Every structure is written in C-alpha cells, then in structure tokens.
C-alpha cells in the first residue's frame, strides 16, 4: 500500500487541507534534542555531528510544514478558519514560533557563528518575535470569544499559545551579546517584555490547572501527555533569566552596568526558583504517566509533549550547572538528555507510522481524530449552548 493511498480520499491535496499546526511540535522536539546533544557534557561519541544532522533535518521539515500550513491558509481558507474555533487544535499555533526558536538557537549552540549566520539568526529572531506575539494574542482572543471551554476539560495544553514569548526571550539572550550596543539593547528590552507577558500568564494557568486537577482529577487518556507541558514555561522561564542576565552583563555599559550586575544575580535566583517549581511538576508528570500506562496510552501527536518541555527544563539544568557549579545539576542534565533522546525515538517512530497510514492527516476541525476531545462543530455547539444560559 503506497503512501498516497493512505491519505484522506487518496488525494495529496487532502494532506494540505487537513494539515494542522500540531505537526510543528515535531520541530520543537527534534530541535531541542539537537541542542541538548550539542550541550551534552560527557564523552565524545559524535553527538556534535548528530546534533548538526538533526538541526538540518529539523530545518527542512520546518520549511516543509510551513509551506503546507500556508498552502492550507491560501487554498482552503474556509477550512483554515475552522482551526481557530477548535478549542484544542488552535492551541498548537504556539508550536510554530517555539519550533522556529530551536532553529534560531542552533546558530549559536550547534554551529560556529559567522557574520552572515549572525545576520540571518537576528532576522529570524525578530520574525519569531512576531510569531510569538501572534500566538499569545490571537489564540487567547478566540478562547475568550468563540471557543467552548470548561474547567473540567481544561488541560496544560492551554500553555501552548502562552509559552512562545518566553521561548523567544530566551533566544534573545543568545542573540544580544553578539550585536552592537544599540541593537543588543533593543533585543534585551524586547526579550524582558516577552518574558513578562508569558511567564505571568503561565503562572495563572498553572494555578488554575492545580485547581482543575484537584476538583476533576486527571484528564482523559488522549490528553495524558499534557501533564509534561507544565515543564515548558518553568524551564524556558529559567533559561531566559540566565541568558538575559548574561546578555545584560555583556551588552550594558556605563550607567547600565550596575543594572546588568543586578539582573545577572536576580536572574540566577529567579531561575533557581522556577527550576525547583518545575521539578515538582516533573515528578507529578512522571506519576501521571505511570498511572496512564497501566490504563493504556493511545498515540496522537500530543505525544511530542514528552520532548520539548523536558528539553527546555534540561537546558535550564545545564545553565544552572554552569552558573552555580552545584554538582547535582550536570549529571542530572545528562540524565534528562538521555531520557529526552529515548522519548524522541519512540515518538518519531510512531509519528512516521501515523504518517504512512494517513491517520495523522485528518484535521479534527474537519473530522474527528483520536486524541482530541472535541471537534469544531461540537465546540461551536457547546459555545452556543453556554451562551443561551447567560442572561
């Protein structure tokens, strides 16, 4: 059986029509694995070459997914609009800037930096700023106005459109030290604004999630992996505080030099607090996963949630090891990298099998898909029903 015969209706155009942004979670997971392999502190077994290969593969697939996503917006605009009314699929719009950020970071972590690559990386970073702001503004607007939500159906997936600005902020801390003074300051100031937007909103969502889990217990098995998403804002929030503190110290001079010293010390303290909070959520995510495994854990694209959140928490661990010298962080970071690679292999294999069978090429906005609790039509009906109950 050929691939084309497995896609909806046997028509490759249906791949475009059903293409959803959750495919960009594969970019998030693959990109963060490449970065963590490049930072792995033990041995020389070719991990640098593997990291470069993964970065190139990830960049190719990001370009391919972007073409498919834009093609759907252009050629199937009415179907594309339905995405924004879906209470789960719309959240994955946040995966686009986060996947793109891993490519930007690769210029500084994986490859030798040259003037040409710095110019490209800086331009890409500003593009990522636009994408991140689009996610954090557009998706919540539709959540507030047209989608159907309830406390019982709420999951950590709500974090997906919220986290991108702080991911971009962490990348800004890598970009700024290599720029001229004025350009570096612009990147740094923008990054702090992005961090504030994202982290404070994420903390509110985590508080609501804690209440939801207490009142309504664990979500359905199809959303089991969402528990790992809680590591995302805490890991990237810690990362950004350290990278921006370093950027302040490298870029600020004169009157701002004292502020840079304070930002570096305060950033390290905030990073430690966020990392500790994230460690508690990681323990909860492990406990949840073990419980779900006993009940059965059906595969869907949400499984990529095993990778990126763990990866950014891993990155924060490596940064803390470098800044504090505390002996626990470096070996713990290595363990996280190995676990990340293990998850990536499993999820990548299952994703390719889903691509071959065509099951993953069915947009929930246009047809029901296992792993997503509500179609667009169901969401609209729920929203209409709710509106009739409000005087």
Give the Cα separation of 117 and 110 in Å (integer).
12
Q: Which pLDDT does position 43 carry in this prediction? A: 84
Long-range contacts of 380-385 (CB under 8 A, 24+ apart): 380/85, 380/146, 380/148, 381/148, 382/148, 382/150, 383/146, 383/147, 383/148
Q: Which of 194-198, 262-266, 280-284, 313-317 has the lowest mean pLDDT?
A: 262-266
Q: Is the pLDDT of residue 385 over 80?
A: no
Give the Cα separation of 180 and 190 in Å (integer).
16
Query: Do 370 and 222 meet the contact criterion of CB atoms below 8 Å apart?
Result: yes
Write the pLDDT tens digit of every residue in 313-364.
999 999 999 999 999 999 999 999 999 999 999 999 998 887 776 666 565 6
Q: Which pLDDT does position 352 carry in this prediction? A: 85
What does DSSP assign to residue 232? H
pLDDT band at 259 (very low <50, low <70, confident <90, very high): confident
Q: Is the pLDDT of residue 258 over 50?
A: yes
Q: Which two tokens stand for residue 229?
A: 């998403």
Query: Do 290 and 211 meet the contact criterion of CB atoms below 8 Å apart?
Result: no
Give the whole-number percent of the chain exceeding pLDDT 90: 76
pLDDT band at 253 (very low <50, low <70, confident <90, very high): confident
Give the Cα separation of 390 and 242 in Å (integer).
46
Query: Do 325 and 248 meet the contact criterion of CB atoms below 8 Å apart?
Result: no
Q: Is the pLDDT of residue 232 over 50?
A: yes
> Residue 186: is it exposed, middle or buried by C-beta count within 10 angstroms (0-12/13-18/19+)?
middle
Q: Which pLDDT does position 231 carry in this prediction? A: 97
Q: Which pLDDT does position 205 carry in this prediction? A: 97
Number of H helices, E strands in the chain: 13, 0
Domains and their CATH numbers in the chain: 10-370 (1.50.10.150)
Residue 244 vs residues 136, 209, 251: alpha-carbon distances, Å: 21, 28, 10
Q: Which of 2-16, 93-107, 141-155, 251-265 has the lowest mean pLDDT?
A: 2-16
Q: Is the pLDDT of residue 164 over 90?
A: yes
Give the Cα separation of 160 and 226 in Å (integer).
10
Long-range contacts of 180-186 (CB under 8 A, 24+ apart): 181/251, 181/253, 183/122, 184/247, 184/250, 184/251, 185/251, 185/252
pLDDT band at 110 (very low <50, low <70, confident <90, very high): very high
Q: Which pLDDT does position 255 carry in this prediction? A: 73
Other beta carbons within 10 Å of 388: 7
- Chain centroid to CA 279: how far? 18
Q: Which two tokens stand for residue 168?
A: 């971009």
What does DSSP assign to residue 161? T
Q: Which pLDDT does position 302 carry in this prediction? A: 86
Q: Which of 94-108, 122-136, 354-368 has the lowest mean pLDDT?
A: 354-368
Q: Which of 10-19, 36-45, 187-196, 294-303 has the lowest mean pLDDT?
A: 10-19
């Amino acid at each position: 059986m050929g691939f084309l015969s497995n896609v909806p209706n046997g028509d490759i155009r249906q791949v475009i029509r059903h293409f959803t942004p959750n495919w960009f979670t594969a970019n998030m997971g693959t990109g963060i694995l490449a970065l963590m392999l490049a930072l792995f502190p033990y041995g020389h077994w070719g991990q640098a070459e593997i990291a470069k290969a993964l970065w190139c593969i990830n960049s190719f697939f990001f370009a391919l997914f972007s073409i498919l996503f834009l093609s759907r917006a252009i050629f199937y605009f009415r179907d594309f609009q339905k995405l924004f009314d879906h209470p789960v699929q719309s959240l994955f719009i946040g995966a686009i800037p986060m996947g793109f950020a891993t490519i930007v970071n690769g210029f500084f972590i994986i490859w030798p930096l040259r003037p040409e690559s710095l110019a490209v990386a800086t331009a890409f970073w500003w593009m990522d700023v636009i994408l991140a702001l689009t996610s954090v503004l557009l998706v919540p607007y539709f959540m507030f106005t047209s989608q159907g939500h309830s406390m019982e159906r709420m999951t950590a997936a709500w974090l997906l459109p919220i986290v991108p600005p702080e991911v971009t902020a962490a990348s800004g801390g890598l970009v700024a030290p290599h720029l001229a003074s004025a350009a570096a300051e612009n990147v740094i100031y923008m990054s702090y604004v992005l961090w504030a937007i994202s982290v404070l909103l994420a903390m509110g969502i985590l508080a609501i999630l804690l209440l939801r889990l207490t009142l309504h217990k664990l979500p359905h098995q199809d959303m089991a992996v969402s528990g790992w998403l809680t590591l995302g804002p805490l890991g990237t929030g810690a990362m950004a505080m350290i990278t921006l503190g370093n950027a302040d110290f490298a870029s600020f001079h004169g009157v701002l030099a004292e502020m840079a010293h304070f930002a570096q010390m305060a950033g390290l303290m905030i990073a430690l607090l966020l990392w500790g909070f994230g460690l508690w959520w990681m323990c909860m995510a492990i406990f949840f996963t073990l419980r779900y495994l006993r009940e059965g854990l059906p595969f869907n694209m949400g499984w990529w949630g095993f990778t990126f959140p763990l990866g950014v928490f891993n990155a924060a661990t490596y940064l803390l090891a470098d800044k504090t010298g505390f002996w626990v962080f470096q070996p713990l970071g290595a363990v996280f990298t190995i676990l990340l690679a293990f998850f990536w292999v499993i999820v990548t294999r299952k994703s390719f099998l889903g691509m071959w069978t065509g099951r993953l090429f069915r947009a929930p906005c246009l047809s029901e898909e296992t792993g997503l609790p509500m179609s667009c039509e169901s969401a609209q009906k729920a929203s209409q029903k709710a509106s009739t109950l409000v005087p």
